Structure 1
């Protein structure tokens, strides 16, 4: 396994051998070239654990005890009162061609991305319920029967609200699936035959569309014994004509956004999580709040942002409508164009040309 990193190169001494003046704004380290696409379906050997990729320690006994004592995992009654107001506007998928990128929010972290002539699903969850969580509070925005043929699926990590076995069983087993390192066996046990596992900063290519797996501030766990046994991250999808979409998956705020933006300049649209953030002392390392998501979009250099990971499942204690109001306020406070905040209702679409 190889992991590319962005090196930091020390400043060179001056030609005359004397001290070098230190710039108040030192140049950023050079950006490594993009990795060559790896073969599809390549069989690879991964380490037993990815704990070394964590950017913050997982909660210890003290944190678990505090969480059990405070027990703030659901909004108060007044926070749930906004459920009837959640934006839900399903509509037919837009017609596109190979030179058009269209995104449709099916809910939570599930998107239908039409790019380079492909239909790509991100973290598809069409189930009404997931393990350990109340039923979804908005219906799925796109009926499964209304989907065009699915050309590829990308998975960010293995948490149940992002990796849903009942939904994936609906797919033909020869659907190309792109997953984090260490997660391939989960799909192979379910008889998927075209599974490509990638490490951070690695890429694959499908019919001219490039799929790069990039870091995130998160973790993985699906059973009592598999903590961090597979990797986690986001995806950068690049069309043959250069249009570029970043799907962040699930992530806290941190340094990776700047590095992703430098390595993949010209991101046209960033799909960023804005929900499941309260209480902050418990969730700040792994879930962005709305203000951090807006900052992340700027760190990425993204031209547009579409909020996600809110208004579908009740995963934490903030009021259900709060992510939307806060992300709009943060976007306005940052002085960014309102047209570039794609705060879509569940089921709605936008088109990039």
Structure 2
């Protein structure tokens, strides 16, 4: 069995209380249990051989695989692909940023350029035109690599190919600080990265006054035929020196972790949440939120704003390519949330958090 961190096991079970909605964030209170002290950057650690005990749903068995082979659809039909030319794509220069700026710019899929506390942080950077086992991207990268400022850090959610892209990472200097899930550090060290920090759920590190907390997700990991769940998966909460918070969920299904993250990190200013790659639901619901669930996650988190991601870049499942955007807008309106708090950016778009 995997040894979970002490703060993970100390977390109380969810209560029946509801998290305050995005329209009225709950007053900030000390988190419980207290946040972990940041661990030293680059610390070498020994991890369990497997993280299977962190799964919140069983991986598909033989019956599910047989059903998928019989009736599953992994691509939209012709009508579902017809809207590709209408996908929102509006590349623009990155906003000016200083040490007091918190800004996000969407490069596509789960790749964001996050400016926080004077740092430039990339999330799950994928600048490649194609990833293994998937057709080429249907929209270009929204931010040219050559237009990026110097990259101060990279955070990785898990090792699936659409989130961990070796050709993109080869473009970075090998002394770039990278923050990764437990068990994934060896992948980076084999590629000669020298500043690799691995974290378990609810653990944190710091860089330049910015706190980076690794938090749970409803997902899994696999990159080869023999490494299923050998490394962990999760999301990241980045906290600026002035206390503003951005939550990057990575790749996740809907479930109890959102309310726990919201209780431990109150006052999340912006949640970057996945809304695509969800159809068929019987196959993908355990590991990918649909748009309605993403809006529910915002309420569970108590987040003030949401920026959708993980859609409109790669065709990974069967829903029509524009459906995630239409559905998340409808779910947001149905929840009675302020329209200006939904940052449904085009690929290449940016927004700056108010101070």
Correspondence list, 1:160-309, <5 A: 160-309=161-310
Q: Normalization by structure 2: what TM-score?
A: 0.93
Q: Which moved more, 1:69-78 or 1:143-152?
A: 69-78
Per-residue deviation, 1:148: 0.1
Task: Decide whether aligned partners of structure 1 residues 154 and 24 sit closer, same or farther in structure 2, where only a CA change above 3 A counts.
Answer: closer
Which residue pairs with 1:14 in the alignment? none
Correspondence list, 1:53-64, <5 A: 53-64=54-65
CA distance in 2, matches of 1:287, 1:103: 22
Task: Decide whether aligned partners of structure 1 residues 182 and 24 sit closer, same or farther in structure 2, where only a CA change above 3 A counts.
Answer: closer
Q: Residues 6 and 31 of structure 1 are in contact (CA less than 8 Å); yes or no, is this contact kept in structure 2? A: no
Task: Decide whether aligned partners of structure 1 residues 49 and 94 sit closer, same or farther in structure 2, where only a CA change above 3 A counts.
Answer: same
CA distance in 1, matches of 2:298, 2:318: 24
Q: Could you say what secondary structure the match of 1:262 adopts?
A: helix
Runs of 4+ aligned residues of structure 1 deviating over 4 Å after TM superposition are: 23-26
Per-residue deviation, 1:9: 6.6
Q: Could you say what secondary structure the match of 1:307 adopts?
A: strand
Per-residue deviation, 1:6: 5.6
Please give the per-residue CA displacement for 1:127-146, whole angstroms capped at 9, x wherever unaligned: 00000000000000000000
Q: Could you say what secondary structure the match of 1:187 adopts?
A: helix
CA distance in 2, matches of 1:299, 1:96: 30
Correspondence list, 1:308-327, <5 A: 308-327=309-328
Q: Residues 276 and 309 of structure 2 are in contact (CA less than 8 Å); yes or no, is this contact kept in structure 1? A: yes
Q: Residues 183 and 197 of structure 1 are in contact (CA less than 8 Å); yes or no, is this contact kept in structure 2? A: yes
Task: Decide whether aligned partners of structure 1 residues 158 and 24 sit closer, same or farther in structure 2, where only a CA change above 3 A counts.
Answer: closer
Aligned mate of 1:5, from 5, 8, 16: 8
Per-residue deviation, 1:70: 1.2
Structure 2, unmatched stretches of 5+, are 19-30
Per-residue deviation, 1:24: 8.6
CA distance in 1, matches of 2:47, 2:270: 31
CA distance in 2, matches of 1:83, 1:333: 26
Q: Residues 270 and 305 of structure 1 are in contact (CA less than 8 Å); yes or no, is this contact kept in structure 2? A: yes
CA distance in 2, matches of 1:262, 1:89: 35
Per-residue deviation, 1:96: 1.2
Per-residue deviation, 1:31: 1.6
RMSD: 1.7
Which residue pairs with 1:96 in the alignment? 97
Larger radius of gyration: 1
Correspondence list, 1:101-116, <5 A: 101-116=102-117
Q: Normalization by structure 1: what TM-score?
A: 0.94
Structure 1, unmatched stretches of 5+, are 11-22
